Each structure stands twice: as C-alpha cells, then as structure tokens.
Amino acid sequence: MDWLERQLRGGLEEAGVELDEVDLAIIRIVNALYGPALRALDKADLSDVWPETVLDPSRPPTAR
Amino acid sequence: MTHPQDLSLRHQASHLATGELDPRELLAATLARIDERDGALNSIAASFADESARMLAQAPPGPLYGVPVAIKDMFQLPWRGPRDGSAEEHLPAGESALYRRLRDAGAVIVAVTNMHLYGAGTTGEVSAYGPVANPWDPERCGGGSSGGSAAAVGARLVGGAVGTDGGGSVRLPAAYCGITGLKPTFAATPVEGYTHAYTTMGVAGPMCRDAADTRLLAETLIDRPLPKGDGSRLRAGVVSSPFWDDLDPDVERSCRATLEASGWPVEDVTLPGAEHALIASVLRLTMESLPAIRLDQLQELDPLTRALIKYELVIPARSLMRADRVRTLLRRSAEAAFDSVDLLVWPTVPAPAPRIDNPTIELPSGLLPADVGNVRQAGFGNLCGLPGISTPVGQHPSGVPIGLQLHARWGGEALLLDAAEQIERATGRRHVDAVPVIAR
C-alpha cells in the first residue's frame, strides 16, 4: 500500500466511506493529473499574500 | 416564411412587439422544433407546454414579451424543482429570483436544459438525462456544465438560454457550440432559488447567438441597462503563460488572427499567480460543493464522479488555504493589469469539443481530460469574480467551433459586449451567423 492509498483509506474510513479498486484506479489517474499542481501550490512562496478577510468577488480586492 | 426560431432573440422580441409575430404561434413553433430537433442533441431535460402557455397568457409587456427562453436545471420554477443534472429534485418547486426576472420581462420559459451532473464537469456527457451533444457534430460533446443551454441555442431551438458559470460553465460550452456566452461579475445575478447559492465562484449568465442578443437577455438577468459603446478603441492584454501555452494549433491560429483583426492595440501582460489558477479553481470548486453531496448516496453515482468525490474528501485543508492565497494574489494581479488594458484575452478552450465517447483533448503536450484544459482557461475569471465572455471566432478542421475569451474589470459587462460586437464586425459576422449541421 503506497502513501496515496494509505491517505485515502485512512481519511475515508474516518468519514465512513468505502474505497474499492475501481475508485482507487480512477483516483490514481486523477492524482497523476492534479498531484504535480497540488505539490507546486504547496511549495509556492505565498508568505506575503494573505487571503482577504472579507472576500467579495463582486469587487476589486481591498488592497493591492 | 422562415421558422421563427431562425430569427435572433432581439428580432423575435421586436416582431412580437410590432405584432408581426404572434406569441402563441411562436410558442407552438418553438415546442415543435424542440420535439423535432432535440432527439440527437439531448439538450432539453424537460419542456412543459401547459406551464409555458400559462406564463404567456399572464406575461406583462416587457423587453422580452412572448419570447421563448430556456433555463439550466439549477433554478426553482413554480412547477418544477431543479435537479442539477441528477434524477431527483435538489430544491422544491418555487419561484427563483431569476424566474421572476424573466417572468417580469415578459419572457416565456419553454424548457429546462440538460447539464453536466451537479455542474461538476465541462463536457456535459455525464447526466441523468444522458449526454448533451454538439449541434455541429452530435458525436461530440456539447460542453458543460451549461451544455444543454449552449446546444439548444446553437441548434436554434431557442434564441436565448440561461446558464451558470462556476468554473467556465457558460463560456466553455458557448465555445464548443459556437455561440456567445456571458459570465457576469460575481453576484450580478441573484442566487435565490439557485441550487448552488452557496458558491463564491458561480454566477448565472445569458447564452445567445451573438453579442446583441446576449446584451438583451443580460439586461433582464442583471436587471440594469448595458448601454452600447464603442468597442473599437479598447486595449487588449495577452497573458502568454499559462493561457496561450499548450494549445491546439488551429485554436491558437484562429484566436491570434481574430485578435489581430480586432484592430486593438495588444500588450503582453503578466499575472502573478496565474500558474496556480487551475489548481486553485479546482480546489475552491470542489471544496465548496462537497458539503452539499450526500455521502450515503455515493454508490449511486457514476464511477468517475464517485471516485472524484472520494479523492476530494482527503485533500488537506492546508491546500485549500493556500488556494485562497492564490485567489487573492490573482485578484490583485487582475486589478493591476486593468491599469493598462481594458481586456484580458485568451482562447476559451485549449482544444475543440471532444468526442462524447472519449472526452479527452489532444494538446502539444499530449492527451488530457478536457476538464483539466478547460478549467485552466476559465477558472481565473471565477476566482477573481470578473466578468468574461466567449465569442465564436472560427471553425476547427474537425468541424466544430472555436471561441475566444475576454475578461473585463468588475462590472464591465457592457464593455465586454462592445468588445464581442467589435470582433463580430472584424470577422464579418461569419462565425456568429454560421449555421450548425443540425440546423441546416
């Protein structure tokens, strides 16, 4: 069992959701597509960007 | 006489106003065309002749008096609860705010349109009502999630339809089906009676054959005038990376040629954070919709949707919080970009509509699920809350349309429509007036 399967089985068991082999096969494909982007997001330097405390997407951001 | 649904939305409205067109005859002809033409398309989830006739009988004078329109299956109607592309109602029957706006403008809702299940895809082939086909090639996807609205307009079943756009779901199917689709600024249209009223990404918008029709329907949906201006003197910004990267060569060629033909000065623009727009969009969209999904019904879903939900359930919260930082960064980047340009421009979709039986696209980097490429192009506008429009600009050698996407600053819907009209002029209207295979 690799890290992805461990993470899935652990997390889904907690939520009371079963994981079968079809799910796992599809998720491996999805993770191959989005995994690199997720890892790049985790490594990005966003230290000087704080989320807007009162997000209003109908208007420009409150500060540049 | 031509079939009245071959008239544009605005010509239907003006002919009804002058009495050249009888609203009861128009309604009957529209329902007959849906019956006759939608079989291969599957764009309509339900039509309801009695309720439409009642709506017409009670229609007040207004800008859309007697005009038949369709609406995506995400809004309450007094006679039907919305189903989100699934088999069961997600809200009870009732009066959504958009229903009231259409009713008060005199419009007649003739159909609810098919859509990608839960709004969770850009291809439209997953739905309890079966896949939505493309009017240019019924073996190809009509798009999603507002694919039924796009295909119904493209096939001339109706002159205008309402879609919703949380991750490109108006713009992407508009591009696939060769029509014009406007995603208004976030919250420009009301969410009361909308199944995804919780969203910070989605907004309802008009889908029509061209910009002038889109302007007419948008004014009703947004409930404010969108005065016509001069679209010839705008400044266009091109964001080379990532939005002009890794495109189907014919898509790129058509979009660049159109931009050149527009006559607009073009400036290269960099948007810090844009390299993370895809994953930030996917995270925000999936996390917002997860609480609405009933985990005890997971086993009833198709294998792909079920697996995606299970994957989403274990994504770390840290990633979502970082996505929200990217969102702020992108919103700041966009605001700064609009200091020097009026429009941000790139292809709506990286490749044309894929086949229904294989919804993948071929890009220079290889084969990719269409959703991944499509959300890369569209999610930026949803994260920022900006208005965006897709306008048809070409035909791919495979036979299906190509769309160009434009964004403007917050509240810039009228300017986007001016820009789309400028593109129509620059291309001699040959793409907005092109008739799809199914309508010939």
Q: For residue B367, name the pLDDT band (cuts at 50, 70, 90).
A: very high
Inform me whether the pLDDT recorded for B392 exceeds 70.
Answer: yes
In chain B, % of residues over pLDDT 90: 94
In chain B, the number of structural domains is 1
Residues B302-338 as b or e (16 or more Cβ within 10 Å = b): eebbbbbbbbbbbbeeebbebbbbbbbbbbbbbbbbb
Q: Are strands B236-238 and B343-347 parallel, antiparallel or unpaired?
A: parallel
Contact: B188, A23; criterion CB under 8 Å: no
DSSP 8-state symbol, A7: H
Question: Which residues in chain A come in under a pLDDT of 50?
Answer: none
Q: Min CA distance, B33 vs chain A (Å)?
A: 38
Do B310 and A52 count as a contact with CB atoms less than 8 A apart?
no
pLDDT tens per residue, range B63-108: 999 999 999 999 999 999 999 999 999 999 999 999 999 999 999 9
pLDDT at B293: 82
Checking if the pLDDT of B161 tops 60, the result is: yes
The answer to whether the beta carbons of residues B201 and B166 sit under 8 Å apart is: yes
Tell me the C-alpha to C-alpha distance, in Å, between residue B105 and each of B93, B205, B263, B279, B312.
21, 16, 36, 39, 41
Tell me the CATH number at B135: 3.90.1300.10
| Residue B249 CA to its chain's centroid (Å) | 24
- Chain A residues near residue B304 by CB distance under 8 angstroms: 26
Mean pLDDT (whole number) for B176-190: 98
Q: Report residue B72 as tokens.
A: 């995506």
Interchain contact A42–B (C-beta under 8 A): yes
Q: Does A45 touch chain B (CB under 8 A)?
A: no
Look at phi and psi of residue B250 and say left if phi exceeds 0, alpha if psi is from -120 to 50, else beta. alpha
pLDDT at B156: 98
Contacts of A60 in chain B (CB under 8 A): 331, 335, 409-410
pLDDT in tens, B14-32: 999 999 999 999 999 999 9
What is the model's pLDDT at position A64? 61
- Interchain contact B384–A (C-beta under 8 A): yes
Reported as a single tens digit per residue, the pLDDT across B269-326 is 999 999 999 999 999 998 898 888 888 888 888 888 899 899 999 998 999 999 999 9
The pLDDT, as a whole number, for residue B297 is 83
Of all residues in chain A, the one with the smallest CA distance to B327 is A51
Chain-centre distance of CA B115, in angstroms? Answer: 11
Q: From chain A, pick out residues whose CB is under 8 angstroms from the CB of B326.
A: 41, 44, 46, 49
Between CA B167 and CA B359 the distance in angstroms is: 17
Q: What is the mean pLDDT of residues B420-439?
A: 96
Least confident segment among A10-24, B121-135, B145-159: A10-24
Q: Which residues contact B357 (CB under 8 A, 6 or more apart)?
A: B139
Return the amino acid letter for B16: L
The distance of Cα B349 from the centroid of its chain, to the nearest Å, equals 12
| Angstroms from A41 CA to nearest CA on chain B | 7
**Which DSSP string corresponds to A20-40?**
-HHHHHHHHHHHHHHHHHHHH
A43 in contact with B, Cβ within 8 Å: no
Looking from the CA of B61 toward its CB, the CA atoms found within 13 Å total 4
In a domain? residue B323: no
Q: For residue B10, which of B362, B416, B421, B439 has the smallest C-alpha distance?
A: B421
Q: Which domain holds residue B228?
A: 1-273+328-440
Contact residues, B window 174-233, toward A, CB-based 8 Å cutoff: 185-188, 200-201
State the pLDDT at residue B2: 86
Q: Which of A40-54, B224-238, B240-254 has the lowest mean pLDDT?
A: A40-54
Query: ipTM above 0.90?
Result: yes
